[in-house]
Amino acid sequence: MARNIGPEDRVVRIVLALGLAVLIYLGVLGNIAAIAAGVVAAYLLVTGLLARCLFYKAVGLDTSVQEQPYSTTDDRAGL
C-alpha cells in the first residue's frame, strides 16, 4: 500500500496518540473509555509512523506531498 498521509497529518496523529496514552496512564478515563482510547491511540500511532491509513484508502483521501518533476529553463523554452 502506498503512503497516503502527509507530514503534518503524521505529526498530528502521533501527538494525539501520545496525548491519549498520557490520559490513560494518569487514569483520567474510566475502564471502557481507557480501552477505547488505547485502541484509537495505537491506531493513530501506527498509522502516523508508517504514513499509511486504511480509512484514507477506503475514502480515497491522500494528504501526502506528491513530488513535482523538476523542469529546467531548457524545458520551458522548448529546446
Instruction: Summarize pLDDT for 4-39 with one digit per residue, the tens.
Output: 898 899 999 999 999 999 999 998 988 999 999 999
How much is the average pLDDT of 35-51?
A: 94
Mean pLDDT on 56-70 = 78
Residue 77 has pLDDT above 80, yes or no: no
> φ, ψ for residue 31 (rounded to 5)?
-60, -55
In 3D space, the residue among 37, 41, 17, 16 whose CA is nearest the CA of residue 28 turns out to be 37
Domain map (residue ranges) of the chain: 7-62
Look at residues 15, 1, 6, 9 and name the one whose alpha carbon lies nearest to residue 54: 1
Instruction: Tell me the C-alpha distance between 13 and 40, whole Å.
Output: 10
- pTM for this entry: 0.75
